[in-house]
Amino acid sequence: AKQELLGVAADLIDTFGAVSAAVAWAMAQGALQHSNADVAVAITGVAGPDGGTVQKPVGTVVFARAVRGQPPEACSAEVKFFAEAKTRSEVRQAATIVALELLMPDAKVEPGCA
Q: What is the mean pLDDT of each run of 10 residues along the chain (114 residues)?
A: 91 96 95 94 95 93 94 87 93 95 74 40
Q: Is the Cβ–Cβ distance between 41 and 64 less than 8 Å?
A: yes
User: In sequence order, which residues have a C-beta less than 8 Å from that of residue 76 and are 6 or more positions away?
Assistant: 25, 64, 65, 109, 111, 113, 114
Domain-embedded: residue 41: yes
pLDDT of residue 8: 96
Show the domain range for 55: 2-102
The count of structural domains within the chain is: 1
pLDDT of residue 114: 37
Q: Which residues pair with 81 in a beta bridge?
A: 60
Span between the terminal Cα atoms of the chain, in Å: 22
The enclosing domain of 48 has a CATH number of 3.90.950.20
pLDDT of residue 4: 87
* Cα–Cα distance for residue pair 10/39, rounded to 1 Å: 24
